[in-house]
Chains A and B, each alone.
Chain A
């Protein structure tokens, strides 16, 4: 079974402070990990994926297979980063099915 855990429902930081949104996963095979973001009154959108090893809007995330984690980090938070963040895992689920399993999300608030 595949499972994604985001231990923090709410996270509040001040502008300019570092931020880390935690994500742990459980999967027996070789997973693909993603972070999705939903800004207020906007649709859910892909922020970054581990396979690309990219930095989007200053955010990075490193897959740590030993700790089964995929934490999202940004060194200096901005007010516009305030949003709901979801960690997601994709793994083979019968044949070629690449179903995404989501965590329950973390609501990030960046205060001025």
Chain B
């Protein structure tokens, strides 16, 4: 597609439920990133996929968070047993794996845990 697509755009879930967030990157972009945007916290890195390399999971806040990328394209971020502190906007971005190329961001998924 023309841009990075994320779905759903909004998600309200009950505490303790699992949620799945989807990201469809720009065709041809080999790098894919997930970030979390919270008020006053800026953008917090979660996970990074690059081609067939092992993902960089160093930013995942707990083992309730996981992500996968199938076929080098679409990615799914899963949060198990959601907590209220998980409420945030989850942003996906993709880029060419080249120095200085910059990211293209999706419009995000606003997650609210009630």
Contacts and interface: CB of A to CB of B under 8 A. Distances in A.
Interface stretch (B15-23, B71-79, B80-88, B98-106): B98-106
A43 B106 contact: yes
Nearest to B101: A98
Interface in B7-50: 31, 33, 35, 40-43, 45, 48, 50
Interface residues of B, number: 26
Given A96-B50, A100-B33, A46 B43 contact: no
State the 6 A-B residue pairs at the shortest beta-carbon distance, nearest first: A104-B42, A102-B43, A44-B105, A51-B100, A43-B107, A46-B102
B11 to A, nearest CB: 17
A29 B108 CA distance: 31
Contact of A97 (B42, B56, B91, B100): B56
- Interface SS majority for chain A: loop
Given A97-B48, A99-B33, A43 B108 contact: yes
A33 B93 CA distance: 17
- Interface size range of chain A in the complex: 20 to 34
Contacts of B114: none
B43 A86 contact: yes
Contact of A100 (B97, B103, B106): B103
Contacts of B42: 86, 102-105
B100 A104 contact: no
